[in-house]
Structure formats: C-alpha cells, structure tokens
Amino acid sequence: MNSYVALAGTSIAGDGRIVFGSKRMNLDEDRYDAFIWVADGEAVRKLTAGPTDLAPRFSPDGTKVAFLRKGAAATDKPQLAVIPFLGGEAEVLTDFAMGVRSFDWSPDSARLIVSAVEYSDEWKDLDDDERKRKPVRVVRLPMRSDTIGQLHNTVDTTWLVSADGSEMVKLSDDDSFRENGAIFSPDGTKVAFCSDRSGDRVANNDVQVWERQIQTGELTMVADLGMWSSLDYSESGSLHALGLRNLFDWPDMVQLWRLDAEGPVTLTPDLDRGIAELAFRGDDAVILVEDEGRVVVKSVSPEGAIIDIHEADSMAGSVSASLAGVAFVNSSYDNPGELMVSDGGVAKRLTSINDDFASKLVHAEHFLVNAGGGDVDVWVYLPVGSEPVPTLLNIHGGPAAQYGYGFFDEFQMYVGAGYGVVACNPRGSSGRGSDHVRAVVGGGWGVNDMADIQAALDEALTRYPRLDRDRLGVMGGSYGGFMTAWLTSRDQRFKSAIVERGLLNWSSFAGTSDIGPYFSQMYLEANLPDDPAQLWEASPLANAHEIKVPTLIMHSENDYRCPIEQAEQLFTMLLRSGVETEMIRFPGESHELSRAGKPRHRQERFEAILDWHGRHLLPVDENLAN
C-alpha cells in the first residue's frame, strides 16, 4: 500500500509544458506526501518540496505555477501558494481559517480568484475551546457536509488575490450565501461562480450559476437552480458547465451545457454517457466520459460535434488542455497511473513513476452477463496459480458509479492475499447510459440491481472453476454496504460479509445524512414526512433478522453521508439476533476513509478486512499461520 504514487492535477501550458501533482502515503508520519512535478518534453523533474502540495496550475503567461500547500500538521488547511517556474521559493499567499477550496488565474497572470472557507462573524473571534463549548443554533438544511463538517459556523467566500501577495480583496457581497468554484472570464472583467441564493431553508444540492462584474460588483444569474459544477469559459467567452438542469433528474447522464443568456443549451444531447471532467482547448471542450468501465477522453466543438481523443481499456482522469495539447493521467489494471499527453495523434506516455510497482499487479478478465435488463460488465481477478481460492464479491458505492479497467488498490490487495475477486456494474451503475443508471429508481431499487449482481456472481463461478463457491464472501461500502446487508438477508450462500459505511435505514438516513433530504426522493421517489412505510420497506434493516452470515460492520465516526447511527442500528439488531458480528469505528474519519483517510487508518482497515474474511473463508491452519 505504501509503494505506489497517485498522480493528479495536471495543467498544460500553451507551449506544451505540463505541471502535475503526485501523492503517496507516508505511514511513518501518518500523512500523504504530495509534490508538484514538471514534464518538459522528455524531462520530468520535481518543482516543489512539499510536504503536501496539490492542484498545480500554470499562469496564462507560463512564468508561474499556483497550487495549494498544506503544512505537515494535521490541523493545517490548504492555502494558495505561487512559485516561479524557472526557480525560487514558493510563497504562500493566504491564511484562511478553514483553507482554500479552489482558485483560478486572471488572464493577465497578475491576480487569482480564490474560493475560500472562513468562520462566520459570530464564530471567527472565538478560540477552539469556545467553539467547542458554544451552543449551535440551526435554522436550515443542510446542517453539515461530509468531509467538510458542520456548516453552521463557516461561510464560503470569494477573494481577489494579487499574484505577489500584496493585495487581497473580498468580492463576496453577502456571507449568508455560499460561493464556490469561482473562475475568471477570458477578458478578466468578471468571475463566474456557483451559489444558491434562493433563500430556501430546506436547501438541496442544487445551485445557481452567477457572474459578477469585478469593478462594480453587479451580479447576473446565468443559470437557475440545477445540478451545476465544473464551470469553465471557452476562449471566445462562452460560459459552460457540467450537470443537469434539475437536481431531481439525477440519476442520469451528466451533460455539457453552454450557459447562454436565453438559458442553458446542452451540447451533448445524444451522448448517452456521463461526463466527469471539463477543460477547454480554444473553443473546443475536452471532456472525460464514463463508458462501460472505461473513462475516455473526447472533445466537443461549439456545434456539438464529438471527436475521440483517447479511447482505450483504461481510466483517464485529471484532464487539462491548451492549444498545445491535452494532458491527463491514465490508469489501467496493472498501473496506478501515469501522465499522458495528446496533441491530436496517438496519446504519448510521459512518465514511468509506477513501473516498478506495476510489475507486481494482476490483470483482470472481463465478460458480460445479462439478467434480463441489458448487458452488465463483470471483472474477475485471480491470484497466480491453479488451486481453488476463496471468493470475494465486491459491490461498489453510488450506486451511480462504476468499476472498470483502471487500477483499484483494494482488488490488488485482496488478490495478493490469495482471494479471487468478482466485481460488476449492475443496473444503477454509471457507464451504460440513462436506462441502465435509472433502472433502480422507484420499484427497481433492490430488485434489478440484486438480480444483476447475483447473475454476475453465478456466471463468474461457472466460468472460473478456481473460484470456490463454498467459500464466498461479500462486501461493499455506502450503497455497496446497503446491498451487502440487503443481499445477505435474501441469499444464504455467503460465509462472510463486511458492511462498510452503509445506507441501512432509509427512515433515519433521510433525516440525518447530509444528502438525506433529497437522495431518497431521487431513488425511491419517497421522502419524509410523507412516505415512512416506503422508506422502511426499502431498508436492509427491515429484513436484517434474516441475516445469518458472520458480518463485520465498519464505519467512520465523522461520516455525515451515511451517519454512524446506520451502523449502530444494524450492529444492535445482528447482536440481538445471535449473529456473529463485530463493529469497528474509525475516529476522526469521514465517508471517504477508504479513499482519503489517514494512512494508518487505511492500513488498519485493510488488516481488519483480511482478518475477518480470513477467519471465515481460509482453512483453519492457514488462518492461524497468518
């Protein structure tokens, strides 16, 4: 786990130079070591010394690189820093109490627009002890957000910062509205940002898109409430966004929109695939697209013509673009990721940072299965050898997410420990279009997806005799935790189960999760206070008395997406029902533990997983030897 490097955050200059970030777990210091690198032709070198430098971005004139720097202390927050490209020390320009979320360069490279987080007026002059003691008055939803924390005492603001640190000007006009993702227009006269200024006290996850004139502060709403993100301007000045016009259109395919004065216009109406990232190369949009377990790179002209840039059995990420080309990070089964660039021809790989680690990885095999609702992608990982192996069925979160052709540390860890791994993208997953992702809405929830998962497992056991059908384990997190508990109450063949950060009781989730007030409406077409019976019937807890399989429950104390009360309810029911069960609680962690938690907690999580499955799926003498 401590030997591979995750690459992210590319930025390509107009002459083809690329800066990118790297992140690696440091178990000794229990932190992530992160640096900024430069790829200049064939030469690759480190630009910053860390300890945690992220999200680099070239200035438009190519002379400077801005990035986010986080100190070594656990309490340090990311701040805006700038370093000369040709050498010199980085200068940290901000000191916001809760850090910087994002930033963007002005066209003249003299200033940056910064989206920051501060304490609100009532809280900013208090010390930490006073903040912990002070009663909280809650007047609206959401009251908290996973990975961010409580929302009652902070505000998201927009600032103009000079590149030399000599001046900071607050642009936000009203701290009662949160502003995020601010970017400059190409002429430098205005900034665009996302904010919900509707005044609704039961706010959902939808936002409006606004433009602010820098000189006058005049505000113009460009797009009304919708599921908007990833704002970006084309070279000619047209504002674009990814998203859906209505929050409750989700789950569906995120599209590319041009935000015209007359209203949003989609440029990808016939692309029945979800878009994950957006950048611009002149007036052509460059997008990442989820496609049947792949993430591919495409460009979209102002007229909506779509051209393939990089299509392969792999997963692309962290895309950036300029007239010199398109830079991105690309991962595959057998490589955690390397920097690649395309200038219109075949994409070229520029780094070999993970080659030594990649040589130890196992290649997966892919097949399709159909349980009556269309093709479902399935992957099987097998350890080296010919002997039978215990089998772990893995179920992803979301459910609008996908497993695929990219590197996944968990699967490599399990196969390295001697397990066969089965993974699939059942109905409800992204990557196969609108009908596939929406097949679990309403009456399809827990029905169509479970049928696909069972069919995928059955076919994998038939195709690969090494997968021991008498030693089956099942596991998943978030929606995968829901499905693990749901499945084991209905399918008694499993000998071991792990429910991680699961959605287990829709009735309490609807009132305690940061997304609860609207997520149940999206998927169940039900919500509090109108549909309590429907919420309960769709909950694994309603049928948990039928679970017989030994079940480990893992959850994070600060998980606000699926609050820990979900795990506590399942643990109590299983314990009272006489099921062999244990619960592991990770202090200080959020819903993102498995992806971005403290390195030692991530290591301890893996150890707990292997210990639990080992107790129930490995021969007694082999498990004792471990």
Block mean pLDDT (10 aa), the chain, length 626? 84 97 96 96 91 97 97 88 92 95 98 96 92 90 88 94 96 94 98 93 87 97 97 98 96 98 97 97 98 98 97 97 97 95 92 93 97 96 97 98 97 97 98 98 97 98 98 98 98 98 97 94 92 95 98 98 98 98 98 96 98 92 51
DSSP 245: S
3-state secondary structure 337-370: EEEEEECCCCCEECCCCCHHHHCCCCCCEEEEEE
End-to-end alpha carbon distance in the chain: 18
Bridge partners of 609?
Answer: none
Give one word for 8, left, alpha or beta, with left for phi > 0 and alpha for psi -120 to 50: beta
Instruction: Report helix, strand or coil for 19.
Output: strand
CB atoms within 10 A of CB 236: 10
pLDDT tens per residue, range 62-80: 999 999 999 878 789 999 9
DSSP states of 485-532 = HHHHTT-TT-SEEEEES----HHHHHHHSTTHHHHHHHHHS--TTT-H
Residue 317 and residue 329 in contact, taking contact as beta carbons nearer than 8 Å: yes
- Residue 621 is predicted with a pLDDT of 59
The secondary structure of residue 141, as a DSSP letter, is B
pLDDT for the residue numbered 620: 62
- The reported pLDDT for the residue numbered 204 is 80
| pLDDT value, residue 623 | 56
Q: Annotated catalytic sites, by residue?
A: 478, 591
Q: Which residues contact 118 (CB under 8 A, 6 or more apart)?
A: 96, 97, 98, 124, 154, 155, 157
SS3 of 391-439: the string is: EEEEECCCCCCCCCCCCCHHHHHHHHCCCEEEEECCCCCCCCCHHHHCC
Q: What is the pLDDT of residue 625?
A: 43
- DSSP annotation of 323: T
Q: Where are the domains of the chain?
A: 6-279, 280-358, 362-625
Q: Could you tell me which residues come within 8 angstroms of residue 19 by beta carbon, excluding any fewer than 6 positions away?
A: 10, 11, 13, 36, 37, 38, 39, 47, 56, 57, 58, 65
Query: How far apart are the C-alpha atoms of 454 and 490, rounded to whole Å?
Result: 11
Q: Please, how many CA atoms are within 13 Å of residue 26, restricted to the half-sphere of its CB?
A: 14
- Return the CATH class of domain 362-625: alpha beta
Sequence-ordered list of residues with C-beta below 8 angstroms from that of 514, at least 6 positions apart, any chain:
142, 144, 145, 146, 560, 561
Give the Cα separation of 360 and 1 in Å (integer).
12
Global confidence as pTM: 0.95
Cα–Cα nearest to 97, from 67, 124, 73, 132: 124
CA distance 6 to 187: 35
Q: What is the pLDDT of residue 142?
A: 86
Contact 451, 470 (CB under 8 A): no
> Which token pair is 274?
């979800």
- Give me the residue label for tokens 């949160």: 178
- Residue 201 pLDDT: 78
CATH of 6-279, one of 2.40.50.100, 3.40.50.12780, 2.120.10.30, 3.60.20.10: 2.120.10.30
